[in-house]
Amino acid sequence: MGAAESTTTETIGRYEVVGRLATGGMAEILLGRLRGPSGFERAVVIKRILPHLAEQPAFLDMFLDEARLAARIQHRNVVQVHELGQDGRNLFLTMEYLEGENAAGVIRRSLVSEQEIGVALCAYVMAEAAAGLHAAHELTDADGRPLALVHRDVSPQNIFITYGGQVKVLDFGIAKAADRTAHTEVGQLKGKFEYMAPEQCRGKGIDRRCDVFALGIVLYELLTRKRLFKRETKLAVLEAVCREMPVPPSQLVPGCPESLDRVVMKALSKRADDRYATAAEVRRDLMGVVRELMGTNDPEESLAALMQRLFADRVGEKREMLKRVRSGSVIGSVPSAEADVSVDIPEMQGLERLNETTGGGSDPRSLLESGFTVGSSQAGSGIDSTRARQASARRRTAALVAVAFALFGLVAVLLIVWWTVPRSNGVALDPGTRALKPPDRVLPKPSAVAGGEVVIRVVSDPDGALVFLAGEERGKTPFDLKLPKGSEGVELTLKRDGYEDTVEKVVPDQNQRLRVALSRAKAKGSATGGGKQAGGFHRFD
């Protein structure tokens, strides 16, 4: 979403609306200004239910539930709700305005700028998010009875990192709690499919361990900067969540310690009973990793430094906007809600995820219909079972290699016999050595090899580009291209739907890695032209 032009003087309750930050399926998020005595000015975020839903009781109940639940959670790692109000037909709640970016924006900006987030800071961000979630999970009613709250929508979009290094959990809009007015029907899925736990995918009973699984997914994606369970269809997503066990992140991320592998893989256990029982336990182990990697360094200061470095442009833009808000000036524009939205976070490729599954049929529909329960003998829950399957795979590979060597030896013996035994086909024997001496007209001399073969690892950003050499398709990135060793350059062409064709010249004089950043194809007629202005504020008077 682009910057929103805003000169409106619309008010909601006691707040002046100065721009739109985002629009979701149920509500719109606005930037507001609260005026007070003696020139007091403060920026706030206003969440207002969309007008066409304002008359529907189910959506009103969900909105009221969110406000009631979020207002009860008082924790430094949860966004603070100030007020629930109604202005005519407008039902709204106000929250603190946070200067920062969500975790998805951090991943995208790190890819664009080619700056690493860092293993320790990834662990710290998710440790702080786990602390906020635990506060929500522990919420009780007025009589002290647990509300059994489950967020159900933990994702990179709902983990917010301020420019000062604080981490906040956002959006309890679809949270499940014992005293909610709006209830989810049996079998109904709520939340983003790529961040659901297996039991949530099946529409079964859920508890806080659902959020623990989602924490594991987001941590995995922060570490690898790739989408763990993103697939082409929703059914494929559900199958991946329920069946596929990813490789430990240390196999993909340099510097990732085994201690962090254990945390990630335990959080990603397919069976809820094998996961951490609480988000507090996740935080405890993650902070142990942070101390292991950072020693006495302050992780919040380090995170703030990273955010200031990654988002220097947006820090200045938002600082100038807030300065105008607090001075009572007209706001010319509101910065877009998310950074680098045009950048796709790549998904895991086949070689980067374990292809063995935890059992069951091959049809994802049967997976959902059968309820898909994983017995203890089928494992699929945690780093130990993952390593056991990998060890089994290695043993099978070793056996295949042994068979291949045996066949190779047999072929070699047969060739030697064929070459050394005299034959009656007109091929003479060398008088001195008695070995076969084939004439040139029968067997041509082998051509000289210039120096062997080199391997070029071709990687594109994003993955999945087709690589062509001399007009011939050779493979899809990432893959290893084998070429004869030489000093003459060759041209590789990379093609991917939605991106410009990219030509790269490489000299195959040594084994090497070629990384190519693809540029998005320009949309026809995008340079000028009419159409609606992005981000314009619409009045609902």
Positions marked catalytic:
153
Taking alpha carbons only, the member of 250, 312, 249, 256 closest to residue 113 is 312
- Rounded Cα gap, residues 52 and 49, in angstroms: 9
Taking alpha carbons only, the member of 352, 536, 375 closest to residue 459 is 352
C-beta atoms surrounding 38 within 10 Å: 4
Instruction: Check: CB of residue 540 under 8 Å from CB of residue 51.
Output: yes
H or E element that contains 49: strand 41-49
- Rounded Cα gap, residues 35 and 14, in angstroms: 8
- Rounded Cα gap, residues 117 and 226, in angstroms: 13
- Rounded Cα gap, residues 86 and 125, in angstroms: 35
Instruction: Check: CB of residue 500 under 8 Å from CB of residue 494.
Output: no
Which tokens hold the place of 516? Answer: 């190519």
Cis bond leading into 478, ω under 30°? Answer: yes
Taking alpha carbons only, the member of 173, 200, 174, 172 closest to residue 187 is 200
Which residues does residue 172 pair with via DSSP β-bridges, in sequence order?
none
SS3 (DSSP) at 378: helix
> Distances in Å between the alpha carbon of 387 and those of 260, 273, 291?
15, 19, 26
| φ, ψ dihedrals at 319, nearest 5° | -60, -40
DSSP state of 65: H
SS3 (DSSP) at 469: strand
- Rounded Cα gap, residues 459 and 475, in angstroms: 11
Taking alpha carbons only, the member of 137, 139, 144, 152 closest to residue 182 is 152
Number of H helices, E strands in the chain: 12, 20
Taking alpha carbons only, the member of 225, 103, 113, 104 closest to residue 517 is 113
Which tokens hold the place of 414? Answer: 């047969």
- Rounded Cα gap, residues 18 and 83, in angstroms: 18
The angle subtended at Cα 435 by Cα 429 and Cα 436, nearest 5°, is: 55
Cis bond leading into 248, ω under 30°? Answer: no
- Rounded Cα gap, residues 119 and 216, in angstroms: 14
- Rounded Cα gap, residues 513 and 494, in angstroms: 15
At 211, the amino acid letter reads D
Q: How many CA atoms lie within 13 A of 169 on its CB side?
A: 33
